[in-house]
Amino acid sequence: MASHVSVDLTKVARVRSVTFNEPNLLTCFANDYGHEHWVEKALEFHADPGDTAVLISSSGRSPNIVNGAIVARERGLHVVTFSGFDEDNPLRQLGELNFWVRSRVYNVVEMTHHIWLLAAIDKLVRENGEGA
């Protein structure tokens, strides 16, 4: 989902976007820094102040994503979160803009996130007068 959205942000909406799903980055950072810290380390290496970090966790409790949100805020990034399950999940407490799905079913949460993310790209395209 993150890869699809990242490519569409760049190609369709003309917004510079990267995603951290490169297997070598994931395994190297998880091995070197611990699974719960790999996202924050990726953000430290790749993000600049003022960038926006879009963080997705169905439960909103994934330690790697929650720690990434904390570091993103500390580094001056804008934080947008996508979560589900419990209304008071930790990730939802960390974003400037939070999208939450009232469901505990993974597929419902994930597919809703996907629809919302692609709708956001469509909105950016309309606002910027761009087309695919």
Q: Do residues 69 and 94 touch, judged by C-beta distance below 8 A? A: yes
Residue 130: per-residue pLDDT: 60
Residue 1: count other Cβ atoms within 10 Å of its Cβ.
15
Tens-digit pLDDT profile for residues 67-83: 999 999 999 999 999 99
Cα distances (Å, whole numbers) of residue 16 to 5, 12, 13, 19, 66: 12, 11, 9, 11, 23
Inter-axis angle of helices 106-128 and 2-11, to 10 degrees?
Answer: 0
Domains, the chain, in order of start with CATH, read 2-128 (3.40.50.10490)
Residue 25: per-residue pLDDT: 94
Residue 128: per-residue pLDDT: 83
* Cα four-point dihedral sign 64, 69, 75, 78: positive
Beta bridge partners of residue 80, listed in sequence order: 54, 97
Give the pTM: 0.92
CA angle 43, 46, 47 (to 5 degrees): 65
Residue 85 and residue 77: Cα distance in Å, rounded? 25
pLDDT beneath 50: ranges in the chain:
none
